Chains A and B, each alone.
Chain A
Amino acid sequence: MVVPELDTLVRPDDCRRTPPGECAVITTGLTKRFGRRVAVDRLDLAIPAGSITGFVGPNGAGKTTTIRMLLGLMRPTSGSGFVLGHPLKEYRTYLARVGALIEGPTFHPTLSGRDNLLVLARLAGLHHRVDPVLDRVGLLRRAKDPVRTYSLGMCQRLGIAAALLPDPELLVLDEPTNGLDPHGIAEIRRMLQSFADEGRTVLVSSHLLAEIEQVCGHLVVIEDGRLVFQGSVAQLLAARAPELVVRTECAEETLRLARIIEGVGRTARVLREGDAVTLEVGADCSWAGALNRLAMTAGITVVHLAQRDSTLEEAFFAIMGSDPRPGRGTAGDTGTGTGGGGGSGTC
């Protein structure tokens, strides 16, 4: 299978053009309704073969529902797709080459780790794979113990071992880092990288971008069942323009400057952290001189002026259309709160 060059943002039209075979997963207009609620809304995915693709979205975005449709567990309401070159309807054919951990690991608590895997292995004639995959995730020594004695991290690893049973071309891991400490998350990331190094395609979901972003070459971001972004991490960063960060001698003047900047048609976001007020101006450093002149004309002294490139997290929230971090307005909004009171700074 060929890894497609996804130089540009993959738009729905591109998805339809991508021939099956170049991507491990392609969907077109994939939709799932539960009664009146639309859980997945006309999703067009294109997951490059051989990539580690992060599948990111807040709780309830529709990640698990999408994954269940790809695995033949749920019937799409409408839309179509291909997995490993086979149409979604032929899931019985392609699932032999797919390993999955869906919505966290689930096992029989009184059975040992090995027996839990054996239940699955016997279904597909894969007995010989049980010990190798246990070894692979570092559980061989605890394989005889009942799963109810396992820690959460061990359960996640057993779930990954189960997914590895068929030596899969496509690994679908739904929230494998859920509930893990930073050390455990780093360990999962290392595993993901090693799976990709073996030539597998990895589709890994998380509601926290930061947990998986380091290893993902490709990202799919969904919200409310809809595709918000699809492309490489570099493209995600590029999706948000750089900003000028401006501070003046006091809060009052900063707010006044914000109004002046908006008066000339630029965006200026006000960020308050305690008494300090900072502006984020929608411009790059080429506009810094003009900004400085505007301030001087108004008798405002700028004490800090610098360009800042957005972090991945900011780019992510910009795309999601909301920024839950404290002290932040709605990202991408134009000039919020410039007229609002509350500035307590005194000159």
Chain B
Amino acid sequence: MTETQPGGTRHADGPFLMDVTALSQLLGALEAAGYQVIGPTVSDDAIILSELGSAAQLPFGWGVELAPGGYRIRQRSDTAAFGHSAGPQSWKQYLHPPREKMWSVDRSGGEFDVVPADEPAPRRAFVGVRPCDLSAIGIQDQVLGRGEHAGSRYAARRAGVFIVAVNCTEPGATCFCTSMGTGPEAGPGYDLALTELVSDTDHKFLVDIGSPAGADMLAQVPVTPAGDGTTGLARSAVAQAADQMGRSMPADALHGLMAGSYDAARWDDVAQRCLTCGNCTMACPTCFCTTVEDVSDLSGEHAERWQLWDSCFSLSFSYLPGGSIRSSDHSRYRQWLTHKLGTWHDQFGSSGCVGCGRCIVWCPVGIDLTEEVAALQAEARQAEAQQAEAQQAEAQQAEAQQAGSRTPGARAGGEQQ
């Protein structure tokens, strides 16, 4: 916890207004408080996440164009720093790294000494966390960092994180956070939340405080209380974004739809397009699956265990002697979609999808899960309709038979003869 600065109580409520210079000062204050500051920056024609030396590295004036299987950065007409949506990476890179040492063991001297990997968990400030990604962090907390996992490496890293969220005013073409209930306004979990207000003459941020640590940090930068007019402007820009989502999903019915769709024909259809490359699971901010790698040195006295991201799209994921359980492409795509949208509820009490759209953008063949869900829904409706029709026909037949048995003459041509 940052020490409360003199005058820190000044920021007890908010919201406040902050200009671009103050944003720069905020990043400086975070660094001075011992945080490694991480945020978006332009690199190799993409907006990636990286350690920021200064606010100048933020992607001022850059936006993105998103499409199924397509990602392009573009110059914006304004200088917005956060005028872009989800990039190729997510914050799980930092909280749940792609590869990490778990422990090592030494058996020289006839003992069996296990040493847990104790990388000092750096204190990090995540700057520019989108509402969908804030939810994704909450979901991974539930899986990897809470309750029984309270002592995990994940939990240690998570405990040191300061979050500066950014509300969305300009959703991307593949975004559907509104459907998933995760955006465009950041939910709880942030320390500070910004709403960027940019015009030809002005560049400001409305700042909401989400935690005492957030208040302490904001006390160190020049801000002014936001007037009702500006606050209203910012709030309505975010509210309007809710209606500008490029994609949508029938959120309520997903859990049940997935549970009833295991035999759908659509899985075969999508399996013909899916390369089972696993890109979607790597890009997904909530996918948490891992495998392990055991290595030993030449002496045979020292061994290590490493943890690596894994994907349910790989054949080895479900390996058992006698063959992998999910050997068909069909079953592996089905595992991904039904886990994200369905069985995640059963296993962890929430959806596993936050509507960031990364899996659509980073799929090499442009498979769009919202389209797959729509097709599954159509198939389910059709099956329901057919069933209802069949039931009706059956009922009619039964009625006709009953009527027939009452009129002896009608039986002559009946099947009973």
A and B bind: no
Residues of A within 8 A of B (CB): none
Residues of B within 8 A of A (CB): none
